[in-house]
A and B are shown apart, each in its own frame.
Chain A
Amino acid sequence: MKLGTGVFRNCIAALLFSGILLVPGAQASFRNDLGAHIFQYASEKAPTLYLSNKSIIETQSFLTKAELYFESGPRGAWTLDPDPIRYHFFLDDQKRTRVWAGRDHPLHLLEDRWIEPTSALGSVWVQNQLDALNPRVNGWVGAGVVHSFDENWKLVFTYSPLFLPTFGPSLGFSERGDLNPARFARLPPESVVTGGVALPIRYQLQVGQLSELLLRHQVFLGSSFSNQSTSLDFFAFTAPRPSAVPLTDATLAVGQTSVNANVRINPQFPREYWSGVRIQRKDIEFKPSLELLQNLEDYSHHLISLTGYFRAPSLAPGVTNLSPRASFGILTHLQKQFEAPQFSDLLLFLRVPFELTARLISRTILQSTLLPSKRSLYLMNELEYSIQTDFSILAALRVLAGEDASYFGAWRNQSSVSIGVKKLW
């Protein structure tokens, strides 16, 4: 279950984002993408308005990327998520030891490491899934250090006292226990059948003390080797499980006219211990990157991902301002059996930006889970035509399909077409 408590989520985000204003250093570079789209979902008659904004502010010692996302309508959602937002400095003149504080993924401090949700590590890491079809791996709020022993070997250490769970589309619990779910919320069981009688379920979320939920230690320790041909990371970390394990307690609520199953959900985030290895060969075709994650308490729980990278095809000579890298790969959790659909249900993915002309770019994302009985598909095709260098129009088609209990199949009525504009600064 994804925790989607809107107010809490956005307050945290706003607090972190406000850190931008406190950052010293006047030589800031700023980049902003603002998009406005109109979506027509297959499941709805009326179109919805969709706004997105991505701001990147970077100075010599400060970096933040803040994403704003808003969708109108009763099933819309919004988020403002500054990630990363970090301040860093070197302890020594040789710049061998870099210290950082703020919010970021520990491995992002290494060069050429960007943790995707399609990687083994990214799939067990805390994410922002509010934009469900475009999830992002989030960083930890804390501080860390990256020490370079030499040109090749580095040590990475991160500590976070504040746990932020994976944010997902809100279920919109009302006080009465009714749901007003966001579009991509994964809906919990609707009814319970007992003794041949189906009773509608009403949910109550019992979060308990926020301090107990949030103030949890998270530690990451890793070492990295990198040369021209290979990069190799070993790491281990402990953190609460990003997605909640719901502890439920059910009663029968007898009202004036009906009986409901009253399910109280107490989300639990049990601590997990992971170790992993990531190896990438940079000197061969597709620069394949292999990641292996092993849960240290449950040996049947491990994930593997293999990602290949290639240069985005281009029909336009010499112009590549956007998305130069394409990728493809596979992600699977191998042995472990999960009842709920997982992103890692033998996921095959392909991400291809394609410059058709200097002005027209096509972006294709294909993600498909192939586990038997959990097969599903997400296909996105977007065309962007640049009217000016800083202004473009877009059109996209998103197709979702799959079996009932599959990752994308749950959203199979959410296929959509959209058109929009984008402004860059």
Chain B
Amino acid sequence: MVKKSILILLIALNMTLSGCTVVKSVWHAKAPGRKTVVLESKPLPSFSKVFSENDEESQSTFQEWKNSILGSFRQIEGSTRDYLSRDEIRVLVKSGLVKLDENPSTSADRALAVLEILGFKDGIGIRELNALFDWIDSHKREARDFYHLFMSETYESNQIHARQIISVVNLFGSFVSLLGDQEVSAKHMGELILPWVPISHARARNALTSGIELGISFFASFCGDRVSQSSWNGKKIGNCLRSLTAEFESTTPAIDFIFGYRSPAEKPATLIRAADEFETRVRAWIEGHRHPLFPVRRVEQFSKDLSIPAPYAFLKLTEWIPKLNADSTLEGFSPRFFIELAGVMRTWINDAATASKTSKCETLENWKSCTFDGQYEPAAQLFNGEYATLIRTPTLGFVSKVALYHALSGFIFNKLDMEKTGEIGSRIKELISLSIRLLDSNAFTQNVIAALLEKPVELVNTEDSLKAHTRIGLSELAALAADLIPNRDQNGRTLLRKLQSQILGREKRMPYSMDRIGLTAFIYLFDLIGSMNMDYLSRYDLPVKTEGTLRYVNRRKIIQAFPGILFDHFPRIYNECVAWGFERTCGVVFNEILPNSLPGRDDLESYEIDVITLSAVLIESMMSRCDRNSDDVLSGNPIDGYDEKNCMITVSTALAKRLMNAGFVDQDHQTEFLMKLTNHFFVAKWAAKAALSRGTVKGIAWFALPAANWLTGAASLGSVMSVAAELMDPDKVRAVEAGTDGPIDSPGDELLYHNRLTDYHLPRPKKAPRYGSPSIYGEKP
């Protein structure tokens, strides 16, 4: 019994101990966590496939999205079947299932704002979603065309056709119509969009309301009383845009032409009719409804709210609008100005189409590149085969471009009544400069984008930047060149007047008279320098450094490249300079013309290369004007005060004076004195003519004698450049001649000395082909 008891005790003790051990280890165990089901559905294909892929894949992608979204929506249960109220959407988005921002509250605000903008303020149901998908389905084709058009990398081969523009506008119109027939004030619209603008983008948030006001004002002005004047109404704006496309459908040939496309089968007569129709439609569009002025100050306010510089060029331009359009004021831009512009378009298309009638290019698809063999006087006057022939050839495209510029200049000329008022010079230059800069520069847009993205905004396109332009005298130079470009008739002078001019040494007609063709040339020149600039950067591999919205090119690289630029684009100048010593002539002249780098920098803004183009065009234009018999030399005539040398002296001194006045070249008293001397004393002019022939002003006094002067023979472009170099920087010329180091004002100047340009940077062969003079140099390959 005792044994049993001991045994039982031992067993019980063992069990208790073992039980305690187990209990101790597991007693505090926690229950396993409840399972979480992870639902991972197959990711949807990119929605962009709807637009980018072929019909079949596009449809299947669209259907997949539609099924997925509608299916998902049906799986959401609100208080009402297949419908989610505003509050329910807020809860749903806040839960994170629909993520429009990292912050759930912002996400919810955004979702509700979008819904309200779409017209679903109280909530959205399956019916509305279906409508949205039906809309996408029915506009898929237009959207796909739009996508392919704008995603194309080769813009040239995918020009925008009028029908595509109409489709796109129609598409946009349909979309905004979808936004519902609700009047939303700019302020409330701002509140709706605000959640979409990140908190960090303070400037964008600040400018939101004024930006929307700007948009509303634009549509109010553009659509007139078809839309609400002070609030956003998507349906009305959509209707306006759709009626716009309906109104202008018949004018597609004209719109196509404006955008650079012309149907192969299109006869000039069709184009002319369409252009007339276009003007009529624009007039009817504007006059048929009350269109308020577009308040230009809104742009200023928008800029202010966005903390970016106001678009100076645009605002300055608006000051000119009242001169061009009587209905516009300093405060508001009248849409009636579009009627005037439509008139310009009509003139342009009419002239271009009429010109094409005289050419074999009449209906060719590649009409732009077709060599023009017809008659169009302004183009004939502007085209110069001595320069820029690699990018400018006398084609129908060139003719069309000149016709546009000529139509514009005609409009400006007539509106400003320039012949009567004599208002030429700085004002018109200012206007044109502003217009060109406005068209050419997207600085304001870039500033807006930079501000919206909270990136640093560069002070470009401001008054300061335009002043800088004026400082380097680009406009001045362009105006001078523009005056010289047209091949005006130089005949009609009597023998007596020629003799009188030789003795008295006076040109009666000063250069620089901005007539209509001059204005056309001015615009043409700005277009040309833009194209040339792009060509330089790519053809000569000039590395561009971008800082904000500004682009810089190393000045030394420009100096290295400019011999090649002259070789390709200005072969006559190049050949003459090589014959007279490249560094001694072109080297010094263009180096002096090219601005110096700012202190502490070794580069220039890329547009500053344009000064090379303008100067070279100017020199070529002077030569073209003065070398009347096209023998490449400037000859003198003892009894003709209007001889070729005289022409060159008159033109070049006027040019130099203007450049000095503009601060473009240094105001050198000695040079100024010499210029005055040559203009007022025929003896001095004789000496100057001798200098032109000899290519130097050294020993010039001996050649003031008529006999000595007449013995000097003809001058050439090279000798002219040589004299110009001496006048512009005699120290550098002396150093080049002596083979020593000379003044170095800016990076790249050192290349002038010790024949560095000649030895290392001049193209081979040494003679540049002049395709503009085929009789001398053969046909262009």
Contact = CB atoms under 8 A, between A and B. Distances in A.
Nearest to A397: B19
Nearest to B87: A256
Interface string A408-423: 0111111101000000
A61 interface: no
Contact of A412 (B4, B32, B87): B32
Interface string B30-41: 111111111111
Nearest to B20: A397
B97 interface: yes
Contacts of B39: 192-194
A149 B254 CA distance: 107
A387 interface: no
B15 to A, nearest CB: 6
Contact of B91 (A43, A255, A399, A411): A255
Contact of A381 (B15, B29, B36): B15
A244 interface: no
A404 interface: yes
Residue of B26, B33, B96 with most chain A CB atoms under a 10 A cut-off: B26
Contacts of B84: 254
Interface stretch (A85-93, A121-129, A196-204, A220-228): A196-204
Contact of A252 (B22, B41, B92): B92
Nearest to B78: A254
Interface in B70-105: 75-78, 84, 87-88, 91-92, 95-97, 99
Nearest to B104: A197
B26 A399 contact: yes
A191 B37 CA distance: 6
Nearest to B28: A42
B29 A259 contact: no
A415 B26 contact: yes
Nearest to B97: A197
B32 A409 contact: yes
B95 A199 contact: yes
Given A191-B37, A412-B31, A315 B8 contact: yes
Contacts of A257: 91
A371 interface: no
A331 interface: no
A193 B39 CA distance: 6
A400 B26 contact: yes
A259 B8 contact: no
Nearest to A192: B37
Contact of B35 (A189, A195, A199): A189
Nearest to B4: A315
A357 B12 CA distance: 12
Nearest to A261: B37
Nearest to A354: B11
B15 A43 contact: no
B26 A412 contact: yes
B7 interface: yes
Given A198-B36, A251-B76, A356-B11, A259 B26 contact: no
B15 A195 contact: no
A43 to B, nearest CB: 7
B29 A42 contact: yes
A133 interface: no
A84 B81 CA distance: 49
A195 B19 contact: no
B27 interface: yes
Contacts of B436: none
Interface string B46-87: 000000000000000000000000000001111000001001
B91 A259 contact: yes
A405 B97 CA distance: 29
B501 to A, nearest CB: 88
A257 B92 CA distance: 9
Nearest to B98: A195
A252 B91 CA distance: 11
A190 interface: yes
A253 interface: yes
A399 B23 CA distance: 7
Per DSSP, are chain B's interface residues mostly helix, strand or loop, or mixed? mixed
B38 A193 contact: yes
Nearest to B88: A254
Interface string A241-276: 000000000111111111100100000000000000
Contacts of B76: 251-252, 254
Contact of A259 (B34, B40, B87, B92): B92
A132 interface: no
Contacts of A409: 32
A374 to B, nearest CB: 12
A296 interface: no
A360 interface: yes
A11 interface: no
B418 to A, nearest CB: 68
Interface string A350-364: 000000110010100
Contacts of A315: 4, 7-8
Contacts of A66: none
A379 interface: yes
A229 B28 CA distance: 49
B96 A196 contact: yes
Contact of B29 (A195, A198, A413): A413
A319 interface: no
B8 A258 contact: no
A195 B99 contact: yes
Contacts of B25: 401
Contacts of B35: 188-190
A15 B39 CA distance: 44
Contacts of A195: 96-97, 99
Contacts of A259: 91-92, 95, 97
Interface string B454-477: 000000000000000000000000
B5 to A, nearest CB: 9
Contacts of A255: 91
Nearest to A356: B8
B26 A252 contact: no
A190 B26 contact: no
A207 interface: no
Given A254-B77, A256-B87, A399 B32 contact: no
A187 B29 contact: no
A415 B95 contact: no
Nearest to A253: B77
A187 B34 contact: yes
20 contacts: A42-B26, A42-B28, A192-B37, A193-B37, A193-B39, A194-B39, A197-B97, A251-B75, A252-B76, A252-B97, A253-B77, A254-B77, A257-B91, A259-B91, A362-B11, A362-B15, A383-B12, A399-B19, A399-B26, A415-B26
Given A190-B34, A190-B35, A193-B37, 4 more contacts: A198-B36, A251-B75, A254-B92, A379-B22
